[in-house]
Each structure stands twice: as structure tokens, then as C-alpha cells.
């Protein structure tokens, strides 16, 4: 995985997590009327499987995040909400059309009312803001969606706003600006201090920690300085979140994320081996399953995938596997 691929992977994860963890605040910030109409005593359902299915035909390599949520209204009705977040480093003329395509695909399958929201994090201008039109000989469609350019929000007003989403937007702005000015360290300190000064709840602070950590990455020495300042702040304010902050955020959080990704990849390869053997030979012995699940070497797992597909019998696979294991042990 290249550096750029890792960047977009964490962009995707960071935004999806902060949306889920601060979703009521997000509605309150962007759509106050919907926030007031929503019954938050009922579960908020994130329809990730539906969104994944709809995204299959999307342009490969596109730099955006989509979340589809369902909330219950106080009237008893359901409301579906499509949230589209995009890094806009260039004027994308197809952006409004893409918003329309998601809208009609969801409606075509589920026949549900949809609130479409577009959040753009980049600095580029030149989009048809909030509207897609398709017309021929006085026939056609005009589709409108809610459109918010995060870089356009006034920084002073964001700093004064107590909604945690205001700090998320400020962090997103700072990511663009710090990249230009080289002031990531000072910016990160200021955002973290602001987070504590506003007196957010524990779960809100942890969600913001996670997002800010992705937004503004520092070297090890700078992270240690900030962690020490966090300990001091929490000691004064009697907010014992520092252990969670160390576990979630800063450099440690990124390292944990990478390690989790590695472990997930290994587990997927183990499952591929056992699935191939089960498909070809009906049943895999518990001894083979246990041995495969103990392998931590990615290259060995890749070899085993190929051999699980090529071997003539399960016994042949087992003999090759046992012989390989003994050889590795001697080495």
C-alpha cells in the first residue's frame, strides 16, 4: 500500500468514525430542523451494506466518503440521510451528477425519502453548488442537495461554537492551512486545549481525539510534548481521559490502526485457505484449521492459498503443509 493509499484509507475511516460518534451533533450543526424533528431515544441505524452495494459502480480511486443513515422522527416516520464527504482538490464537474446518481439509486431500491448532504473539505471552487440539472426540450429534472464547503466557515465563529462538529470543521480547515504554513504542532495544541475548555463529554472528547490525530500528524517528540500537556490539563480539570487518549490518539493511534489492518489482512488470507479447502474437499480437519490460524507470516499464507487451490487431495495439502512446517521449524 502506497503512502497515498494509506492517506485515503485513513481519510475514509476518520470521517466515517466521527460521523457515527457525533451524528446528533452533525444534524444539529447542518440541519437544525431535522435535528429538532428526530427522536434520539430511538436507535440511529447506519446502512453501510446498502451504501457499499450502491458504491460498486463508482469511479475507482475517487477521494470521497459516503455514509447512509436512518433515523426515526418524532412523528413516527423514518428519514434516510445520505452524507457525502469529498476532498475537492480540483473543480470536479461530475460532482453534482454523482450526488444525483446516489439519490436515485437509493430511491429506486428502497423508495424512501432522502436528505442529501455534501460536505467538501478542500479549497477548490467552481462547482455547481447544491444543484444538478438534466434537461432536453423542456423535459428533465432539477435535483437539489444540501451543500457545505467546510473551508468557507468563519474560523472565529467556529472557535466560539460549542458544537463538537465546529471543532471537526476547524480541524479539517487547519489540515489544509497547516500543510501550507507548516504549523501543525501549534495548531494541534490549540485544538486540543479548546476541546477541554469547552467541557465536552468523555465520548465526544475521545471522538475528537481520534479525528484530530488523523488531521494533524506530528513526529514522536512533538506527540510526547502534547501528551504531557494533556496530562497536565486533565489533572487541573479533573478529566481522567489521558489513558484513553494515549490508547486512541496521537502516534500510538496510527500505529494501532496499521497493526489492526495487518492483522485483518492475515485473517482474511487464513479464511481464504480454509474456504478453498472446504469448497474442494467438503471438510477440513480441526488440526489443519488450528495450524493455519496460527500462521503469522503473510508470505507463507499466500503460498498456502495457491497450494490449497492446486493440490489434488486434502491429504496432499496436509503432507505439504506438515513438511513445510517442519522445515520452517528447523530453520
User: 44 near 23, Cβ under 8 Å?
Assistant: yes
Distance CA 41, CA 121 (A): 31
Distance CA 293, CA 191 (A): 43
pLDDT at site 331: 47
Distance CA 128, CA 93 (A): 8
pLDDT at site 240: 57
pLDDT at site 254: 45
Domain end residue (candidates: 94, 126, 152): 152
Distance CA 205, CA 198 (A): 10
Nearest to residue 243, comparing CAs of 223, 267, 256, 227?
A: 227
Q: Establish if 208 belongs to a structural domain.
A: no
Q: Establish if 138 belongs to a structural domain.
A: yes
pLDDT at site 10: 64
Domain end residue (candidates: 92, 124, 152): 152
pLDDT at site 166: 93
Convert 300-309 to b/e letters by CB count within 10 Å (16 or more is b).
Answer: bbeebbebbe
Measured CA distances, 241 to 133, 209, 225, 230 (Å): 49, 10, 17, 9
User: 116 near 64, Cβ under 8 Å?
Assistant: no
Domain end residue (candidates: 152, 171, 193): 152
Q: Establish if 213 belongs to a structural domain.
A: no
Domain total of the chain: 2
Q: Establish if 205 belongs to a structural domain.
A: no
Q: Say whether 147 sits in a helix, a strand or coil.
A: strand
Distance CA 115, CA 68 (A): 10
Q: Establish if 189 belongs to a structural domain.
A: no
Give the structural domain span for 51: 31-152
pLDDT at site 215: 79
Q: Establish if 172 belongs to a structural domain.
A: no
Q: Establish if 157 belongs to a structural domain.
A: no
Close Cβ partners of 40 (under 8 Å, ≥ 6 residues apart): 24
Q: Say whether 149 sits in a helix, a strand or coil.
A: strand
Q: Establish if 12 belongs to a structural domain.
A: no
Q: Say whether 115 sits in a helix, a strand or coil.
A: strand
**Which cell numbers hold the place of 25?**
451533533
Give pLDDT tens digits along the chain (331 positions). 554 555 556 677 788 888 888 999 999 999 999 999 999 898 888 887 777 666 654 444 445 677 888 888 988 888 888 777 765 545 567 788 888 888 888 888 888 888 888 888 876 665 567 888 999 998 999 999 888 888 889 988 998 999 999 999 988 888 777 655 567 788 888 888 888 888 888 888 888 888 888 777 777 777 777 777 777 777 766 665 554 444 444 445 444 544 555 566 677 778 778 877 776 777 777 788 888 888 877 777 777 877 777 777 888 888 777 765 444 444 4
pTM score: 0.65
A 10 A CB-CB count for 285 gives 12
pLDDT at site 244: 45
Amino acid at each position: 500500500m502506497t503512502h497515498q493509499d494509506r492517506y485515503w484509507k485513513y481519510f475514509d475511516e476518520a470521517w466515517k468514525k466521527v460521523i457515527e460518534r457525533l451524528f446528533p451533533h452533525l444534524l444539529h450543526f447542518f440541519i437544525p430542523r431535522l435535528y429538532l424533528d428526530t427522536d434520539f431515544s430511538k436507535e440511529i441505524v447506519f446502512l453501510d451494506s446498502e451504501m457499499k452495494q450502491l458504491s460498486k459502480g463508482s469511479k475507482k480511486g475517487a477521494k470521497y466518503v459516503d455514509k447512509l443513515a436512518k433515523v426515526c422522527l418524532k412523528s413516527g416516520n423514518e428519514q434516510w440521510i445520505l452524507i457525502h464527504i469529498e476532498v475537492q482538490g480540483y473543480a470536479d464537474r461530475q460532482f453534482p451528477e454523482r450526488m444525483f446518481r446516489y439519490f436515485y439509486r437509493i430511491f429506486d431500491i428502497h423508495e424512501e425519502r432522502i436528505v442529501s448532504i455534501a460536505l467538501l473539505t478542500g479549497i477548490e471552487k467552481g462547482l455547481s453548488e447544491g444543484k444538478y440539472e438534466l434537461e432536453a426540450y423542456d423535459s428533465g429534472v432539477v435535483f437539489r442537495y444540501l451543500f457545505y464547503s467546510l473551508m468557507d466557515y468563519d474560523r472565529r465563529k467556529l472557535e466560539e461554537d460549542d458544537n463538537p462538529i465546529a471543532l471537526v470543521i476547524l480541524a479539517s480547515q487547519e489540515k489544509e492551512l497547516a500543510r501550507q504554513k507548516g504549523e501543525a504542532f501549534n495548531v494541534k495544541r490549540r485544538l486540543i486545549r479548546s476541546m477541554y475548555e469547552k467541557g465536552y463529554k468523555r465520548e465526544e472528547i475521545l471522538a475528537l481525539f481520534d479525528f484530530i490525530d488523523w488531521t494533524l500528524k506530528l513526529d514522536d517528540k512533538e506527540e510526547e510534548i502534547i501528551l504531557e500537556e494533556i496530562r497536565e490539563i486533565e489533572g487541573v480539570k479533573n478529566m481522567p481521559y489521558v489513558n484513553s487518549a494515549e490508547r486512541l490518539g496521537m502516534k500510538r493511534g496510527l500505529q494501532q490502526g496499521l497493526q489492526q489492518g495487518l492483522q485483518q489482512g492475515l485473517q482474511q488470507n487464513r479464511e481464504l485457505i480454509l474456504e478453498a479447502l472446504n469448497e474442494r474437499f467438503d471438510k477440513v480437519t480441526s488440526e489443519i484449521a488450528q495450524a493455519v490460524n496460527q500462521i503469522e507470516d503473510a508470505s507463507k499464507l499466500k503460498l498456502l492459498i495457491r497450494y490449497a487451490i492446486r493440490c489434488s487431495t486434502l491429504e496432499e495439502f496436509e503432507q505439504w503443509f506438515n513438511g513445510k512446517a517442519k522445515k520452517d521449524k528447523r530453520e
